Amino acid sequence: MVNNLSETLAVNCDTLAHIWIKKVRKAENLKTYNALSDDALLKINSKVYRTLSLWLQNENDKNSIGAFFVNIGKERRKQGFAVSEVSYALFLSQRAVQEYIINENLIDSSMALYTIMGLSSQVSDFFYLGSYYMVKGYLEDTYLALQKNEDMSDEKLRTYFSDDFFFKDVDRVH
């Protein structure tokens, strides 16, 4: 069943990405993502699901997953996404997989409970590792930019490290 699911996910990466896009569009705190077109969102998220299917098929190890997500973190930092947005968007990616599995009846009633738990654990591990490595890549790239003395004004740092939740009532003093 796990192999069938990973094959199904591999074939339906774009479907999963469209479910994710709907979730992104409903998330008011994902302003940078919501400024992109659906095609741009599809492009940046489909690879996540392809990588997940390889993970479920045991074709990618922890190091491959780490490298993949470190690169995503670095790319998103360079593109001006706040780290909180990137993290939440990845969370929504996981939710899209869960929704797809439930709505498409990929888990039939004859499937043993331990198999369902194992599959759920594998999907969760993928996204937990992804979150860890994505933030690691984001912060590593930020560190390198600061080390190179790139323009890191307060405004730019706010872009990377804050969102509507932070600094609401506080004016930063220089």
> Rounded mean pLDDT of 20-25?
97
pLDDT on residue 40: 94
Q: Per-residue pLDDT tens for 150-169? A: 666 777 666 666 655 555 44
Q: Are 135 and 74 in contact (CB under 8 A)?
A: no
Residues 131/87, Cβ–Cβ less than 8 Å: yes
pLDDT over 90 for what percent of the chain? 30
Condensed to tens digits (0 to 9), the pLDDT of residues 85-139 reads: 999 999 999 999 888 877 765 555 555 455 666 677 788 888 988 998 899 888 8
> Exposed, middle or buried, 68 (CB in 10 Å: 0-12/13-18/19+)?
buried
Contacts of residue 137, Cβ cutoff 8 Å, sequence gap at least 6? 69, 70, 71, 72, 73, 74, 77
The reported pTM is 0.78
Task: Copy the structure tokens of residue 65.
Answer: 């997953």
- Is the pLDDT score of 14 beyond 50? yes
- The torsion of the CA quartet 145, 151, 154, 159, rounded to 10 degrees, works out to -60
Region 53-66 average pLDDT? 86
Position 150 scores a pLDDT of: 62
Taking all residues of the chain, what is their mean pLDDT, rounded to a whole number? 80
What type of residue is 173? V
